[in-house]
Amino acid sequence: MKAYKGIIFILGLIYLNAAMALQWPNNAKSAVSVSADDGWPTQLDQASILEKYGFRGTFYLSAGGMPAVITYKDAWRGVFQRGHEVGNHSYSHWADPVLAGKTWQEVAIDVGNMEQWLLANIYSLTPSDHTFAYPGGNYIIGSQDSLVSRQVGSCEYAAFLSAIVTGARIAGSGENDPNKVPNQRYWINGVPIDGDDTTAFNNAKQAIDNGIKNNTWTILIFHALGDGSGLTVTKAGYTKIISYLQSRQTDLWVAPVIKVKNYIMSNIPYSPWSCPPVE
Ligand SMILES: [Zn+2]
């Protein structure tokens, strides 16, 4: 009988959890974060465009992978001081073939080196809560082809990240269900946006509109502003997307990744982080 009551209680908790929809700030229907990877110099323009529309974004810097980050470090400190999140994208930004030959300890040191760089050059020696973005979106270290060369999987990677940052973004697809974010805070989904103006706008609009329909959290991922080929979008294309965010402002809460993640975690009950499998 006691066990039976316990099961009913647990089922009740599960039901409550599922039925409890997160209320976004200002009665918004969805949250959107605008993120950018690597620290391309044209992302300083992205910060200005966001500010023109009253928004703040998230910029993941890699000082070794993108040496221009060091050249423009004063400008990046200004971006941080104006309210954007400036996050860790590892120091060396090792590509997959290089990463495949690294031990997890080497990767942990590289992430730590970037953290030290941010602390010294961007945060002015005052620690700042921020998130990490996996270089190349890869959250597994070592070749996965053979068990011998495999170093660590996503859980172990997140384990050492958790000593440095409070969340991490992957480059996946789709929006984030806020109920799942606390336990998956080291695998927060982002949607890469690139291509010509029409392609970029349509993909971004679809992700934003899905978020509004499903009350979820959409993170857009940008790289450089360029000619619209490769991983770039044009300046006009980027501006059109940010302008669309403004046109849907009554439905949206636009904020950096760290702010949305922390808001969710202060509003949704969750168990202590314990290396859950990625879904
Ligand atoms: Zn990158």
> Is the residue at 37 inside a domain?
yes
Q: Which two tokens stand for residue 181?
A: 């974010």
> Is the residue at 56 inside a domain?
yes
Q: Closest Cα partner for 161 from 64, 273, 26?
A: 273
Spacing, Cα 41 to ligand 1 middle (Å): 14
What angle is formed at CA 170 by the lines to CA 164 and CA 172, rounded to 5 degrees?
Answer: 170
> Is the residue at 218 inside a domain?
yes
Model pLDDT, residue 59: 98
Q: Which two tokens stand for residue 103?
A: 């031990």
Tell me the pairing of strands 30-38 and 58-61: parallel
Spacing, Cα 11 to ligand 1 middle (Å): 42
Given a cut of 80, whether residue 217 has pLDDT beyond it is yes
The Cβ of residue 239 has, within 10 Å, a number of other Cβ atoms equal to: 19
When mean pLDDT is compared over 15-29, 85-99, 229-243, the highest value belongs to 229-243
Average pLDDT over residues 43-47: 98
Which residue would you say has higher pLDDT here, 152 or 172?
Answer: 172
> Is the residue at 22 inside a domain?
no
Spacing, Cα 93 to ligand 1 middle (Å): 7
**CATH number of the domain to which 115 belongs:** 3.20.20.370
> Is the residue at 8 inside a domain?
no
Spacing, Cα 229 to ligand 1 middle (Å): 16
Number of domains the chain contains:
1
> Is the residue at 272 inside a domain?
no
Average pLDDT over residues 37-42: 98
If phi over 0 gives left and psi between -120 and 50 gives alpha, with beta otherwise, what is residue 205? alpha
Question: Would you place residue 18 in the very low, low, confident or very high pLDDT band (cuts 50, 70, 90)?
Answer: very low
> Is the residue at 184 inside a domain?
yes
Model pLDDT, residue 1: 46
Model pLDDT, residue 177: 95
Q: Read off the pLDDT of residues 110-144 as tens digits, 9 standing for 90 and up.
A: 999 999 999 999 999 999 999 999 998 888 776 55
Model pLDDT, residue 3: 55
Model pLDDT, residue 139: 81
Q: Read off the pLDDT of residues 251-265 as tens digits, 9 standing for 90 and up.
A: 999 999 999 999 999
Q: Which two tokens stand for residue 93?
A: 């930004």
> Is the residue at 212 inside a domain?
yes
Q: Read off the pLDDT of residues 189-205 as tens digits, 9 standing for 90 and up.
A: 999 999 999 999 999 99
Q: How many Å from the N-terminal Cα to the C-terminal Cα in the chain?
A: 34
Spacing, Cα 240 to ligand 1 middle (Å): 23
The crossing angle, in degrees rounded to 10, of helices 73-81 and 104-121 is 80
- What is the overall mean pLDDT for the chain? 89
Its pTM stands at 0.89
Q: Which domain holds residue 158?
A: 27-267
Average pLDDT over residues 57-70: 98
Proportion of the chain above pLDDT 70, given as a percent: 86
